[in-house]
Amino acid sequence: MICGMRVCGMRTGISFTVSTADRKRLEAIISGRNTPQKHVWRARIVLMSADGFGTHGIMAATGKAKTTVWRWQERFSEAGVKGLLTDKTRPPGKARVPADKVAELVRLTQQLPPHEATHWTARAMARAAGLGVVTVQRIWAAHGLAPHRWRVFKLSKDPAFVEKLRDVVGLYVAPPAHAVVLSVDEKSQIQALDRTQPGLPLKKGRGATMTHDYKRNGTTTLFAALNTMTGEVFGRNMQRHRHQEFIRFLNALEREIPAGKTVHAVLDNVSSHKTPEVRRWLARHPRWTFHFTPTSSSWLNAVEGVHRAYAAPLARRSRFTRQALAAPIETRRVPLARRPTGRHQPLHRRAQRNRGKAFHLARRPRQNHRCAKQRVPSVGVNPLAGGKIYDRSSLFPMRHKFSHGIPDSINFERNGG
């Protein structure tokens, strides 16, 4: 039995008939429990068209647009029930970038741009290559290119580089018995800067403010010595950076180090470390041995991390007035900006477990690891402002006490437990 349908309500030139077999298949599609819904409403459009419903009635029953109804009526007239169950293959979107154009873009990226710039940007390359910005970024990512990034390097020309490297690293890895290994360095020109006007504090919808200009309230030089075996740091601030101040710092270290211990000091090649006065001091103290790092190899000096912790995070936004330099300053804590090393475990707890029973940290109330105020160690602060320092090698908090504004010496002590 062949069921005809009315042509009214359809586009001009579109007509079809629904056979009994096709009607049974369409009804089975509609009643099937696992049939995709897009197949269901397509079959309903065809059956309602065969039953004489107009386009607007079909639109109201199926919730589809007029163009959608016409599209699937036309599809059924061309391909039958099978055409309702499959979608037509769509033409591809934008054509892929040819390989030769990709190679040319990579070649241009590795050269200087013709305009006045130091490197290519994604927008400049997109204009030069006739491609989109996202396409350029994807090609750069696929080839591992990042024109905006650069890295500073310095190659040491020291002829005894290997020997000095092994000497210094050997002291760090396998220090001699009954010896103290110190990493000694100076950070000069630490500026005590104050702003010309007081800024406004942080509030909702507005960040803290600070004037762009500043006033200088003097400079100081920080001498620091890091005990690489215990993590203790001894520091002293002095006004100048000469061999006289360096000898004064060595004398202070000599008084602090217990008798009967040999001392191995790792130093850089600054001229104040090699003057005749320093050599005579070294001859008068036979338990001291100097180990110089290779030239242009300051990364071998472990105390550089202490100076970096002082200079970068705090001096940038600190304020130092002349009254503050002359008055005592309270100790401050600065949270260390790095994640705990253990899973769901604070860093200092893990350090306490690894270091055994020789060191005990101050017990604190137990706290959830998801809490916003997580128990984190402290990082060193500017010596002009006072504060605590966190030692990276021994992984326990350390504290220094200042007796006045610009301290003559900085004594670091372990927190008792």
Q: For residue 351, what pLDDT is reported?
A: 43
Q: How much is the pLDDT for 103?
A: 94
Share of the chain above pLDDT 90, in %: 32
For the residues 237-246, what does the mean pLDDT come to?
Answer: 88
Can you give the C-alpha Rg of the chain in angstroms? 38
Beta pairing class for 233-238 and 214-227: antiparallel
Q: Select the more confidently predicted residue: 150 or 385.
A: 150
Nearest to 290 by CA among 380, 406, 184: 184
What is the DSSP secondary-structure string of 192-211? EEEESSPPPPPBTTB-----
Among 16-20, 113-117, 401-405, top mean pLDDT goes to 113-117
Which range is least confidently modeled, 40-44, 87-91, 208-212? 87-91
**Cβ within 8 Å of residue 98, ≥6 positions away:** none
CB 222 within 8 A of CB 186: yes
Provide φ and ψ at 66, rounded to 5°. Answer: -60, -45
Cα 348 from Cα 103, distance rounded (Å):
52
DSSP-derived pairing of the beta strands 397-401 and 411-414: antiparallel
SS3 of residue 220 by DSSP = strand
**What is residue 315's predicted lDDT score, i.e. its pLDDT?**
62
In this prediction, residue 349 carries a pLDDT of 45
Higher pLDDT, 358 or 298: 298
SS3 75: helix
pLDDT-wise least confident of 192-196, 307-311, 408-412: 408-412
Task: Answer for the pair 6, 57: CB distance below 8 angstroms, yes or no.
Answer: no
Q: Which of 65-69, 70-74, 184-188, 373-377 has the lowest mean pLDDT?
A: 373-377
- Is residue 200 over pLDDT 50? yes
Q: What angle do CA 413, 183, 277 make, to 5 degrees?
A: 110
Are 226 and 183 within 8 A, CB to CB? yes
CB 184 within 8 A of CB 303: yes
Report, as an integer, the average pLDDT of 225-240: 86
The answer on pLDDT for 382 being more than 90 is no
SS3 label, residue 148: coil
Place of tokens 């477990």: 353
pLDDT higher than 80, residue 183: yes
Task: Give the integer Cα–Cα distance in Å for 41 and 45.
Answer: 6
pTM listed for this prediction: 0.52
Tokens of 183: 């990493």
| Other C-beta atoms lying within 10 Å of the C-beta of residue 314 | 19
Q: Kindly indicate the confidence band of residue 329, based on its pLDDT and cuts at 50, 70 and 90.
A: very low
The pLDDT value recorded for residue 305 is 82
Whether the Cβ atoms of residue 46 and residue 72 lie closer than 8 Å to each other: yes
| Three-class SS state of 21 | helix
The secondary element (H helix, E strand) that includes residue 189 is: strand 179-195
